[in-house]
Amino acid sequence: MKRVITYGTFDLLHYGHINLLRRAKQLGDYLIVALSTDEFNKNEKNKVCYFPYEKRKALLESIRFVDLVIPEESWDQKKTDVALYHIDTFVMGDDWEGKFDFLKEQCEVVYLPRTKEISTTKIKTDLQK
């Protein structure tokens, strides 16, 4: 069984995220999503989430491409996660191109094209018009 992992905040969840998750799942048989906790978002990513972790986790768990959701609490957990979950492929959108190439010693690293026209920032801006 080919195991894939990806990381993110996924707030507000939109079709760009779904496009990423669908393509990530197509690269294997089992997809793990490491979901940024509220603390990690606030302290490390300077992001204040609209939905708290448990709500974002429930949304992701309802997506048929997603097999398991685990917490992302640190920038430094990826190597351990890849080993612990016996990951074959690490996937991120290409806004992260090259940033996680250090994982190539442990698994395949794939950067997928982002869905260009959609972002949470755009949603928030459009809603204020």
Find, among 10, 1, 5, the residue nearest to 103 by Cα.
5
Q: Which burial class, exposed, middle or buried, applies to 52 when counting CB atoms under 10 A from its CB (0-12, 13-18, 19+)? A: exposed
For the question of residue 47 being annotated catalytic, the response is: yes
Catalytic-labelled residue, pool 2, 25, 47, 124: 47
CB of 53 to ligand C2G, least distance (A): 13
Residue 81 touching ligand C2G (CB under 6 A): no
Residue 88 has a CB neighbour count (10 Å cut-off) of 18
**Which one of the spans 13-21, 48-56, 59-67, 80-88 is the region binding ligand C2G (CB under 6 A)?**
13-21
Cβ proximity of 25 and 4 under 8 Å: yes
Query: Applying CB under 6 A, which residues contact ligand C2G?
Result: 7-10, 16-17, 20, 36, 45, 72, 92-93, 95, 114-115, 118-119
Q: What residues act catalytically?
A: 45, 47
